[in-house]
């Protein structure tokens, strides 16, 4: 029995007592005619009882409204929890999995991780509104202790989800941007090498070796071949440097490298 119900029952008990007295007086109305001096007291008690009955009726109506409003808040809170708790469970699983293995071995993996986390952050943004509503409803269910405990537990889990997901965000951003930059530079470098080497080779093979009777032309061809060999050697060194950068990037973005 809550406080409101106890109070109303107490007041109704008092009113029933007054009704009993009034009934006793009413059962001997004939005697009141012979005792006119007692009639004002009976009428006064009747008037008081009517006022008390009207007050009790008003209180009952207000209590019914409060109970109905409280029931509405409880139902609303349960609805928010039914929406929020499954997402919290899945979010915790996602973050545990991602924190254990967040590295990407290539640009495709980096983009997948980046896009997946971006979708997660969008879901988190939508769930933030439900969490806010849930916290606001906590004030309206003050007498529902189990419900309040559930809200507090979910709020603590929510704060931890926000912290961990914020920790992952810059990691995925940096990883994806690093892969984009590296792939862009590597592709550009590779295209430049191929175009330059193809041009040099084509210009060299157009010379008919059987017609090289001029010493000057022979020296020119030898110089071209030496330049081509030096160019290939230089590009090979640069290409090896890029491959080393690739290895470093893979190590950095792998789970082992992050440790």
pLDDT at 256: 45
Residue 196 has pLDDT above 60, yes or no: yes
Using the predicted structure, report yes or no on whether residue 234 has a pLDDT greater than 60.
Answer: yes
- Give the pLDDT band (50/70/90) at residue 122: very high
DSSP state of 141: G
Q: State yes or no: pLDDT of 117 exceeds 70.
A: yes
In the chain, % of residues over pLDDT 90: 20
Tracing tokens 């919290």 back to the chain, one arrives at 88
What is the extent of the structural domain holding 205? Answer: 3-26+35-258
215 band by pLDDT with thresholds 50, 70 and 90: low
For residue 223, what are the CA distances in angstroms to 206, 217, 227, 234?
Answer: 15, 10, 6, 16
Task: Please check the confidence at residue 5 and state whether its pLDDT lies above 60.
Answer: no
Q: What is the number of structural domains in the chain?
A: 1
Instruction: Give the distance from CA 33 to its chain's centroid.
Output: 80
Q: Tokens 């990037």 — which residue? A: 249
CA distances from 127 to 123, 132, 138, 161, 174 (A): 6, 9, 17, 11, 26
Of 124, 85, 123, 117, the closest CA to residue 101 belongs to: 117
pLDDT at position 41 over 50: yes
Whole-angstrom distance, CA of residue 191 vs CA of residue 188: 5
User: Looking at per-residue confidence, does 177 or 209 come out higher?
Assistant: 177
Average pLDDT for 3-29: 57
Among 29-33, 55-59, 203-207, the range with the most confident prediction by mean pLDDT is: 55-59
Categorize the per-residue pLDDT at 257 as very low, low, confident or very high, splitting at 50, 70 and 90.
very low
User: Could you tell me the pLDDT band of residue 159, with boundaries at 50, 70 and 90?
Assistant: very high
* Per-residue pLDDT at 34: 59
């Amino acid at each position: 029995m809550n406080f409101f119900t106890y109070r109303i029952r107490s007041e109704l008990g008092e009113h029933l007592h007054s009704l009993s007295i009034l009934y006793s007086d009413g059962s001997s109305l004939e005697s009141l005619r012979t005792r006119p001096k007692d009639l004002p007291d009976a009428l006064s008690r009747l008037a008081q009882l009517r006022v008390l009955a009207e007050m009790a009726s008003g209180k009952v109506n207000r209590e019914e409204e409060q109970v109905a409003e409280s029931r509405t808040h409880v139902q609303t809170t349960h609805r928010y929890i039914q929406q929020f708790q499954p997402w919290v469970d899945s979010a915790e699983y996602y973050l545990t999995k991602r924190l254990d293995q967040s590295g990407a071995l290539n640009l495709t993996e980096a983009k997948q991780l980046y896009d997946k986390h971006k979708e997660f952050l969008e879901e988190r943004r939508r769930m933030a509104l439900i969490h806010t509503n849930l916290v606001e409803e906590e004030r309206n269910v003050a007498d529902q202790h189990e419900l309040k405990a559930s809200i507090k537990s979910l709020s603590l889990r929510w704060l931890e989800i926000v912290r961990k997901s914020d920790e992952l965000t810059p990691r995925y951003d940096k990883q994806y941007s690093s892969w984009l930059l590296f792939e862009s530079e590597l592709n550009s470098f590779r295209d430049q090498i191929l175009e330059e080497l193809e041009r040099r080779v084509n210009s060299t093979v157009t010379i008919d070796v059987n017609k090289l009777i001029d010493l000057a032309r022979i020296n020119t061809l030898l110089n071209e071949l030496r330049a081509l060999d030096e160019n290939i050697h230089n590009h090979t060194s640069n290409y090896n440097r890029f491959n080393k950068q690739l290895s470093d990037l893979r190590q950095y973005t792998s789970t082992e490298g992050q440790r």
